[in-house]
Amino acid sequence: EPEVTQTPSHQVTQMGQEVILRCVPISNHLYFYWYRQILGQKVEFLVSFYNNEISEKSEIFDDQFSVERPDGSNFTLKIRSTKLEDSAMYFCASIRQGRTDTQYFGPGTRLTVL
């Protein structure tokens, strides 16, 4: 069964450093998402991406965040200058086509900012 994959599974970084989280969505999917989940809290939407551009973003997704689909398979989330409060699980998700298609999530990357 096809699945969303994410690397690394755990990323430890120093405050102020840049990190890039990587995702490989399901191959025939067209819509891509990043969510985050701070420990013990609910999953929060960050950004959605379609047709090589951001289609929606939350207030969390400020100028420190960016997304990119550098090739036909990868979807990345970059945090330019990490803060302590960026520590969280980051989930990538994708859907095939329509809004009510099932949104499949990856296993997540745990980001720890020291």
14 vs 40, beta carbon nearer another protein: 40
CB 23, min distance to another protein, A: 11
Alpha-carbon distances of 73 from 24, 29, 38, 54, 111, rounded to whole Å: 6, 10, 27, 17, 22
9 vs 14, beta carbon nearer another protein: 9
Q: Which residues bind another protein (CB under 8 A)?
A: 4, 31, 33, 35, 41-45, 48, 50, 55-56, 58, 91, 93, 99-100, 102-108
Rounded to whole angstroms, the Cα distance separating 41 from 86 reads 13
